Structure formats: C-alpha cells, structure tokens
Structure 1
Amino acid sequence: MSKKNIKVTHQQLEELRQSHIGKLFLQAHRNFSLKAIKKLRLQGHENLGLSHTGLLANLDIQGTNMITLATRMGISKQAVGKLAKELEDKGYVQITADPDDKRATRLIYTKMGDQFLYDAHQIKQEIETEYTAILGKKNMETLRALLKKLLTQSGSSEF
C-alpha cells in the first residue's frame, strides 16, 4: 500500500472533515432522528430512546427474528436481545418462538407497538413536510430520487 504525500494544513483537514458527504449524511440522519424522538415523546412514547426506535424501524409488520434484526441493524444478537427485552418490558413487542425455526426467537408488535407504528408514520410525514418547506418540493423529490439511486447503485440498499 503506497502513501501519497499530500500537503494539507490542519485547518484544511478540519474543513474537509466537516464538509465531507459522510459527515453530512450522519448529521442529516441525526437531525431527523432527534426531531422524530422529540415528537414521539410528545405523543406519549417518552420511554423510548434512539436505539429502541432503531430496532422498531427494522421490525417487519408481521414480525422478525432476532438474527435478522441483528444483521439489519449491524449489531450483535446479544444487543438485539437486550433491546428486545427492554421493548417487551415497555409493552411495544412480544418475544415469541419463531414459527419457521423453533430454535429462533421472533419479535412481534403488540397493540402499543402498532400505535407506535401509526404515530411514527404521522411524525415521519410531519418531518418530511418541514424539510420540504426548507428545500422546496422539487428539491425534496430530487433529493429522494438521488438518495435512492445512490443506495441502489452502490449496493447498499439492504436496510
């Protein structure tokens, strides 16, 4: 592996660190997530954190086994198990045997989980409306199309 000798000042390096696309994606994701969690708490879901909503966002309507959730979330099965237990204790999911594999565990939504899905859907629409007011309808449509294209063509659309 060869190293290129690139002359960059610390100031330039810091400017590059702050403006690269990866950082902007992370900041946009964080902005959306924090807006959503604040609104969810106002809807009565005050005991949920970002890690909980991350799991719920990856849980299929008909339920999902823990191994699949771990893969989707990029975390260990143990971490999913801990989050699942917390969500079960809070009343959002039920942990049950997987009907397709009795050795596996599956999470399914409870009535409270279904209410979360409804509330989250409404909140996502509110946030998109806020973003559309900032960017304009055409730019929002373009942003969505470009993000879909990027994810599809870069091989990273499995979320």
Structure 2
Amino acid sequence: MADRERWGFELPLLLFAGFRSLIDQLHAELADHGHPELRPVHGFAMQAVGRDGVTASELGRRLGVSKQAAGKTVDRLAALGYAERVSDPADARRKLVRLTPRGQDALVLSGAVFEELRGRWADRLGQERLTELEDALETVVGPAAFGLDAAGWFGD
C-alpha cells in the first residue's frame, strides 16, 4: 500500500482517523476507571480551565466558543462533579470555574493513558518512525498544533 499514489483528501482523513482512534481508546480507558460520562469536549474544556481556574468568558475565548456555550459546558462539568464555580478572590463580583479533585483526577489519568497509547503506537510503528512522524507533523503545523479551540472549530 505504501507504493500506491495517494489522493489529497486521504491525508486529512488519515490524520483524523488517528486522532479519533486515540480519543476513542482514551475514553474507553476513562470509562473503565470511573469516568464513563466524559466526552472529548469535556477534556478540551478541562484543559482550558487549567490549574488556576478561569472565568466563563475566558474559557469561551480559549475554546473558540461563545460565553454561553462555555457556560453550558461548565454547567455539564459541574453537574458531573468535574468543575465548580467559585468567587474570584481578586474580584468577588466575578465567578471562576475551577476543576474539582475529580476533574483533576480525570486529567491526570488522561495524561497517563495518552502515554500508554503513545507506547502502543511506538510498539506498532517503532520508536524511530513514531518520532519521525511527530517531528514531521510538528514541522508542518507549527506552534498552532496545541490549541484548545478544537471543540469550537468542530461546531456544536
């Protein structure tokens, strides 16, 4: 198959299929470890909340969605026990979104699972090929590769 000519549309489909495969495997592992209700959008949102918390407006900017859409995501994360709204110590009129210990646990677990999944790819492809793939993708996409706004980019 490597010797055949590929069509231009295949590259984004293969990249997306690789992404989807990793994310689906991640969520299967998360479900097995007590987080069955988490969805990919929740992961993007929890990463965007970060360690120090964030306002709903800032969360929306980081995710590339409206403040209202960010608020709905926060509502869902709060209902599931992954995030909470607290008073901002710098301005009591504002609310910050913070991760709960459950949310922090899910992020730590996600990181460990991604390491395991990367290891599986290294086993299949070989460490050298995987590193070459990562380096090549990093060269092509540049620093924009690590944006959290994918949830907003994919749409509702």
Class of the TM-score when normalised by the shorter of the 2 chains: 0.7 to 0.9
Alpha-carbon distance in 1 for matches of 2:145, 2:15: 15
Structure 2 segments unaligned to the other structure (5+ residues):
1-6, 148-156
The residue type equivalent to 2:123 in the other structure is: A
Instruction: After the TM superposition, list the runs of 4 or more consecutive aligned residues in structure 1 that deviate by more than 6 angstroms.
Output: none
Alpha-carbon distance in 1 for matches of 2:94, 2:12: 35
> CA offsets, 1:44-84, max 9 Å, x none?
00121222222123221222232232223222221111111
Shift in alpha-carbon separation, 1:101–1:156, aligned structure 2, 3 A: farther
Match of 2:37 among 31, 43, 47: 47
Asked whether the equivalents of residues 58 and 72 of structure 1 are also in contact (C-alpha less than 8 Å), the reply is: yes
Q: How does 1:1-159 map to 2 (within 5 A)?
A: 16-17=8-9, 19=10, 21-100=11-90, 104-152=94-142, 156-157=144-145, 159=147
Alpha-carbon distance in 2 for matches of 1:24, 1:66: 34
Shift in alpha-carbon separation, 1:77–1:137, aligned structure 2, 3 A: same
User: What RMSD in Å do the two structures reach over aligned CA positions?
Assistant: 2.1
How far the C-alpha of 1:101 sits from its partner, in A, is 5.5
Report the TM-score, using the length of structure 1 for normalisation: 0.76
Structure 1 segments unaligned to the other structure (5+ residues):
1-14
Percentage of pairs with the same residue: 23
Alpha-carbon distance in 2 for matches of 1:40, 1:72: 24
SS of the residue 2:96 aligns to = strand
Would you say how many aligned residue pairs link Structure 1 and Structure 2? Answer: 141
Report the TM-score, using the length of structure 2 for normalisation: 0.78
Asked whether the equivalents of residues 66 and 104 of structure 1 are also in contact (C-alpha less than 8 Å), the reply is: no
**Structure possessing the higher relative contact order (Cα contacts under 8 Å, 6 or more residues apart):** 2
How far the C-alpha of 1:106 sits from its partner, in A, is 2.3
Structure whose alpha-carbon radius of gyration is higher: 1
